Chains A and B, each alone.
Chain A
């Protein structure tokens, strides 16, 4: 099992995609792991960082508290030394460190303050038990200045005896001054909370920190949405035990580290939060840079993939194009090889066929010549043998002609010779050939002609004949005995006035052809082969020749066939109409001005006036006897009556004859094989015209009838009917052919002198007496000097008769172009080999007369 390139490509694409996904997967995992590790380390670093910062602040505050206590102890010592401790207090000026200083002497409940008013301990709450360096510290409260403060009390001892208690009030604002400004780039919030009351006693200053949460811990929870009971419990536990707590909680949708940091063993706490990003500013940059690197790598990777893909695609495209080209070449080569093989096979088969087909008649020729030699004394047998030899020879000739035809057509050397011709001549000559063949096979042959507008046309009559004979003889050949053959000539609608558009149909109900064979029917060297047709002889070239000729004429040929149902060939041709007017004189000379036409078939009835429209003869049409009689009775003067024999028969002839003047001939239009027509002759003058109707045929018939009437039949044909006494000079390089020629001419009473090449012919003619030769028969292919050159040389001789001596080309090159070449060389006519004496005689007669006239 081999995979198709598409499948291979798809598999390659899938594996490439999987590889990319795999690489991405690995890459993603690594990046993810690294990120997680970095983020974990950063988180730990952030906690450590914040802890260190808070420790620092804690130490600072504790240092302030300790220094305050130290200061207070010093004051206490001074008071102890003072004579009047209360007076010392009264005159003590408040300063930035101590907002208020009070003293209660031992044993009293009231004391004095440096602010002037009476002082009691009632408003202070030392119940929490907080101490600094052993001195009690009060719960935080709002002092007389409207700010949060605390009081530390210190015993005043004189000589070891406690004489009073010193109360010093400190404000948290003093601590505020020592706290860092711009804690974490001013993004951190920092409160100082009194642990006992949970009140915030020092709040952040400045813009942007006013929103909420300044009042107390609950307010902080509410404002920052710290509602998790677990966290609150944990915080509570830490507050009660004076431990630090640090936890993550999102503040305004931003990840933040929240803290409650114990100061002075938990009497006060640092409370607040720091957005993690504020701590990890460099981390963020690192992350961003990692991301940039990752994105750059990914982009580069993607670009590489895209470039690779594009390059791969381009290469693939190139490869595909090359592959397509290669495939096309291979295909073309294969086709060419196949065609060559077929051609070779065809030619082999053709040669084999030819071999067989040539050998068969050759066998007959040789066989009969043997018999001829044996039975030379028996004139009857000799005649019989010669007849058969002639038949075989003619078959051989046909075969050779076909081969040559094909060869010529294939090499494009065929030239059509356009001449004026009458359709009638074509049809009748074809019919004359086919009709007997059909009859021999007891086939019914039907000839139909409809819609033809012009009878005289211009075209290659011989080739048209060839087409028709090929088609019809095939129809006869491939139709079994008793079958039917239809030959139709249909005039189609003219596309131009100057052209007759003719459709020729040849239909039979014979063996038919298989669809496969139909495809090759027009190919050369093919022949229908099956058990039925094997006995049919042929060259297998007929249809190829036919098609080539049709196409050469600018026509089309189609074939429709079904096995056992017959075949229909349809040839469409456009033939030029003869522009010259038909000789009206013919009719006027014979006083034919009116004609009665009595034809049953409407199409035929209409066609006759159409064909005769140029003759100037008026035509009345009658569809039946009654109409015809009425027309005659109506006083019409008809010089001729045309009557369809098949439609009306003898009775109509009889009826008409009774009413017509005796001189008016009745011409019967009849089928070739019309029966019982002889009886009509008793109603003379009567003539028979074979269907279909042609004007030329009618003219010929009228000539005949008039001649009979005049009793003047010319003896023309007998005149100069032979070659008796004539002397020829023949140039023929083939000795046998020369001998045959001499013999044949001698049979005709003529003599001939043979020369073996063109030069000799020229020399001999040069030496001859004027009038010594009646004509020169010139072979074309000869050694030393060929026929054409010899003809030119003779014409160019300085002799009186050099220009008009009849030179007839006599060559096996029997085509129109050969004839043309001969004429071009200065020869007068062309007679093909093998020599047909009748044709030679006819040609000599024709051209001899012309020369005489000159």
Chain B
């Protein structure tokens, strides 16, 4: 008993002594400022920003952030995130700001829309990325769509496919089958309207052009004669306006019949304008990009059964794929670091994480990921190889940006002929430049 007690007391004293020595043994360093190891390397990234609920997780951003973090960790660089969002439609658009900033070398890395890629690529403002290791994994369609003057000027992290987001419950309510052709689409709209849904299609000032592309290029991209048809357009033998006319006329019809509220669409930002009604079940149809089906801040969580299908065309439901992508400024201050960052952000490893997180189609031919059920119809078409490109750097007239602007003219009251004249003018300018 006594031995035990003694042992306990000795152990306690030992612990106490150790604690006292530890607490008293601290020595102040001479220089009180902690020393940083070398200078911090910085890469400025300019990308669009969405307004979000502060507490909601934005999946798309998180996925992108994961790849950015990978690069930061691998290269020991810090990414400075710069952004711009227009307060209203009267202000400069993101694309315009992109152009301004890239032209003035304000940033190192840019996330660009197809029109900006083409414009800046043509101006030689973007760095050729074809030398990157990760560029070798790209699907051919992606490479083609982002090559300007023989240079690979942008690489996307996802193949952005646009489709029609359908409230299936409402279609079922009025016993409507999902439309394949423009005629069937118009019929659906008629039925909805007759049943009190005044404006069956929710639209914004950005994405109505997808209807046009679907009808314009359904045959061009799926008819087996793509290269020759593009060559004819580039040489002036064929006219863009001829391709575009059916789509514009179709939009005209939608507007005339009131299936689209043109005035509202003209001043609405993407998702902000039409999203609320669609989520509330007031509008059965909207158009959006693939990722919107995965993102809670967009249409990732609906109270009804949602399905994403292609746009109506003579060849049935047609996905529209514009190529957004990351580009590096050719004269960027931190160009080399930006290139390295880029190499990591679009590496197979990063794209695997990105695609798994966002469940999107990867630009790498090595990565395949299952999509959410709502996207299955759209994914099936893409997997079949049936789609149209919303942008193609191989065409001498930039498609995505220009068509968007011309659709806005239509929304603003211009006639289809006036719109076609605008295309002709663009083609003429392009022909003259070349």
| Chain A residues at the B interface, C-beta cutoff of 8 Å | 142-147, 173, 199, 203, 205-207, 209-216, 219, 222-225, 252
- Determine the distance from Cα of A221 to Cα of B53 in the docked complex, in whole angstroms: 11
* B51 contacts A210, C-beta separation under 8 Å: no
* B54 contacts A142, C-beta separation under 8 Å: no
Chain A residues, Cβ within 8 Å of B78:
206
Given contacts A207-B79, A210-B81, A210-B83, contact A145 B101 (CB under 8 A): yes
Contact of A214 among B72, B83, B96, B97 (CB under 8 A): B83
* B51 contacts A215, C-beta separation under 8 Å: yes
* A145 contacts B104, C-beta separation under 8 Å: yes
- Determine the distance from Cα of A210 to Cα of B83 in the docked complex, in whole angstroms: 9
* A144 contacts B87, C-beta separation under 8 Å: no
Chain B residues, Cβ within 8 Å of A203:
82-83
- B39-98 residues with Cβ-Cβ distance < 8 A to A are 44, 49, 51-55, 58, 61, 65, 68-69, 72, 78-85, 87, 91-92, 96-98
Report 11 cross-chain contacts, Cβ distance below 8 Å, ordered by A residue: A142-B97, A143-B100, A144-B104, A145-B103, A145-B106, A207-B65, A207-B72, A212-B52, A216-B87, A223-B54, A252-B54
Q: Which residue of B lies closest to A171 (CB)?
A: B106
* B96 contacts A146, C-beta separation under 8 Å: yes
Given contacts A143-B100, A147-B101, A205-B80, 14 further A-B contacts (CB under 8 A): A142-B92, A142-B100, A145-B101, A145-B103, A147-B100, A203-B82, A203-B83, A210-B61, A213-B54, A214-B83, A215-B87, A222-B51, A223-B54, A252-B54
Quote the shortest CB–CB distance from A613 to chain B (angstroms).
Answer: 76
Q: Is B288 an interface residue (CB 8 A)?
A: no
Chain B residues, Cβ within 8 Å of A223:
51-52, 54
Contact of B54 among A143, A146, A212, A216 (CB under 8 A): A212
Given contacts A145-B100, A145-B104, A146-B99, contact A205 B82 (CB under 8 A): yes
Q: Which residue of A lies closest to B97 (CB)?
A: A146
Quote the shortest CB–CB distance from B53 to chain A (angstroms).
Answer: 8
Interface of A is mostly: loop
Chain A residues, Cβ within 8 Å of B54:
211-213, 223-225, 252
Chain A residues, Cβ within 8 Å of B104:
144-146
Quote the shortest CB–CB distance from A275 to chain B (angstroms).
Answer: 14
Chain A residues, Cβ within 8 Å of B61:
210
Chain A residues, Cβ within 8 Å of B101:
145-147
* B81 contacts A146, C-beta separation under 8 Å: no
Q: Which residue, A146, A223, A225, A252, has most C-beta atoms of chain B within 10 A?
A: A146
- Determine the distance from Cα of A212 to Cα of B54 in the docked complex, in whole angstroms: 6
* B81 contacts A206, C-beta separation under 8 Å: yes
Given contacts A205-B82, A209-B81, A225-B54, contact A146 B69 (CB under 8 A): no
- Determine the distance from Cα of A209 to Cα of B79 in the docked complex, in whole angstroms: 12
* A146 contacts B106, C-beta separation under 8 Å: yes
- Determine the distance from Cα of A219 to Cα of B53 in the docked complex, in whole angstroms: 10
* A146 contacts B84, C-beta separation under 8 Å: yes
Chain B residues, Cβ within 8 Å of A143:
100
Chain A residues, Cβ within 8 Å of B58:
211
- Determine the distance from Cα of A147 to Cα of B58 in the docked complex, in whole angstroms: 26
Chain A residues, Cβ within 8 Å of B98:
146
Quote the shortest CB–CB distance from A100 to chain B (angstroms).
Answer: 11
Q: Which residue of A lies closest to B85 (CB)?
A: A215
Q: Which residue of A lies closest to B65 (CB)?
A: A207
Chain A residues, Cβ within 8 Å of B82:
203, 205
Q: Which residue of B lies closest to A146 (CB)?
A: B100
Chain A residues, Cβ within 8 Å of B96:
146
- Determine the distance from Cα of A223 to Cα of B53 in the docked complex, in whole angstroms: 6
* B51 contacts A219, C-beta separation under 8 Å: yes
Interface of B is mostly: mixed
Quote the shortest CB–CB distance from A498 to chain B (angstroms).
Answer: 61
* A207 contacts B81, C-beta separation under 8 Å: yes
Q: Which residue of A lies closest to B68 (CB)?
A: A207
Chain B residues, Cβ within 8 Å of A225:
54
**A-facing mask of B247-271, CB < 8 A → 1, else 0?**
0000000000000000000000000
Chain A residues, Cβ within 8 Å of B69:
207
* B106 contacts A214, C-beta separation under 8 Å: no
Q: Which residue of A lies closest to B51 (CB)?
A: A212
Q: Which residue of A lies closest to B105 (CB)?
A: A145
* A210 contacts B87, C-beta separation under 8 Å: no
* A211 contacts B52, C-beta separation under 8 Å: yes
- Determine the distance from Cα of A144 to Cα of B103 in the docked complex, in whole angstroms: 9
Q: Which residue of B lies closest to A209 (CB)?
A: B81
Q: Which residue of A lies closest to B104 (CB)?
A: A145
Quote the shortest CB–CB distance from B12 to chain A (angstroms).
Answer: 13
Quote the shortest CB–CB distance from B206 to chain A (angstroms).
Answer: 18
Q: Which residue of A lies closest to B79 (CB)?
A: A207
- Determine the distance from Cα of A143 to Cα of B82 in the docked complex, in whole angstroms: 16
Q: Which residue of B lies closest to A218 (CB)?
A: B87
Q: Which residue of A lies closest to B52 (CB)?
A: A212
Given contacts A206-B78, A212-B51, A224-B54, contact A199 B100 (CB under 8 A): no
Quote the shortest CB–CB distance from B15 to chain A (angstroms).
Answer: 15
Chain B residues, Cβ within 8 Å of A199:
87
- Determine the distance from Cα of A219 to Cα of B52 in the docked complex, in whole angstroms: 10
Q: Which residue, A144, A145, A203, has most C-beta atoms of chain B within 10 A?
A: A145
Q: Which residue of A lies closest to B107 (CB)?
A: A146
- Determine the distance from Cα of A309 to Cα of B104 in the docked complex, in whole angstroms: 80
Chain A residues, Cβ within 8 Å of B97:
142, 146
Quote the shortest CB–CB distance from B379 to chain A (angstroms).
Answer: 29
- Determine the distance from Cα of A146 to Cα of B44 in the docked complex, in whole angstroms: 14
- B6-47 residues with Cβ-Cβ distance < 8 A to A are 44
Q: Which residue of A lies closest to B81 (CB)?
A: A210
Quote the shortest CB–CB distance from B80 to chain A (angstroms).
Answer: 4
* A206 contacts B79, C-beta separation under 8 Å: yes
- Determine the distance from Cα of A205 to Cα of B91 in the docked complex, in whole angstroms: 22
- Determine the distance from Cα of A223 to Cα of B91 in the docked complex, in whole angstroms: 21
Quote the shortest CB–CB distance from B230 to chain A (angstroms).
Answer: 32
Quote the shortest CB–CB distance from B432 to chain A (angstroms).
Answer: 23
Quote the shortest CB–CB distance from A101 to chain B (angstroms).
Answer: 15
Chain B residues, Cβ within 8 Å of A224:
54
Chain B residues, Cβ within 8 Å of A205:
44, 80-82
Q: Which residue of B lies closest to A204 (CB)?
A: B81
Q: Which residue of A lies closest to B98 (CB)?
A: A146
- Determine the distance from Cα of A216 to Cα of B86 in the docked complex, in whole angstroms: 10
- Determine the distance from Cα of A271 to Cα of B71 in the docked complex, in whole angstroms: 31
- Determine the distance from Cα of A205 to Cα of B83 in the docked complex, in whole angstroms: 9
Chain B residues, Cβ within 8 Å of A144:
100, 104
Chain A residues, Cβ within 8 Å of B68:
207
- Determine the distance from Cα of A223 to Cα of B100 in the docked complex, in whole angstroms: 28
- Determine the distance from Cα of A82 to Cα of B81 in the docked complex, in whole angstroms: 43
Q: Nearest 9 pairs between A and B by C-beta?
A: A146-B100, A146-B101, A145-B104, A146-B97, A205-B80, A223-B54, A212-B52, A212-B54, A215-B85
Chain A residues, Cβ within 8 Å of B85:
214-215
- Determine the distance from Cα of A391 to Cα of B231 in the docked complex, in whole angstroms: 167
Quote the shortest CB–CB distance from A207 to chain B (angstroms).
Answer: 6
Chain A residues, Cβ within 8 Å of B51:
212, 215, 219, 222-223
- Determine the distance from Cα of A199 to Cα of B69 in the docked complex, in whole angstroms: 30
Q: Which residue of B lies closest to A219 (CB)?
A: B51
- Determine the distance from Cα of A476 to Cα of B123 in the docked complex, in whole angstroms: 149
- Determine the distance from Cα of A219 to Cα of B51 in the docked complex, in whole angstroms: 8
Quote the shortest CB–CB distance from A97 to chain B (angstroms).
Answer: 15
Quote the shortest CB–CB distance from B419 to chain A (angstroms).
Answer: 28
Q: Which residue, A199, A211, A216, A223, has most C-beta atoms of chain B within 10 A?
A: A211
- Determine the distance from Cα of A199 to Cα of B92 in the docked complex, in whole angstroms: 14
- Determine the distance from Cα of A215 to Cα of B96 in the docked complex, in whole angstroms: 17
- Determine the distance from Cα of A225 to Cα of B65 in the docked complex, in whole angstroms: 24
- Determine the distance from Cα of A223 to Cα of B55 in the docked complex, in whole angstroms: 9
Q: Which residue of B lies closest to A203 (CB)?
A: B83
* B49 contacts A210, C-beta separation under 8 Å: yes
Q: Which residue of A lies closest to B84 (CB)?
A: A146
- Determine the distance from Cα of A215 to Cα of B84 in the docked complex, in whole angstroms: 8
Q: Which residue of B lies closest to A99 (CB)?
A: B104
- Determine the distance from Cα of A325 to Cα of B355 in the docked complex, in whole angstroms: 84
- Determine the distance from Cα of A473 to Cα of B68 in the docked complex, in whole angstroms: 122
Chain B residues, Cβ within 8 Å of A215:
51, 85, 87
Chain B residues, Cβ within 8 Å of A206:
78-81
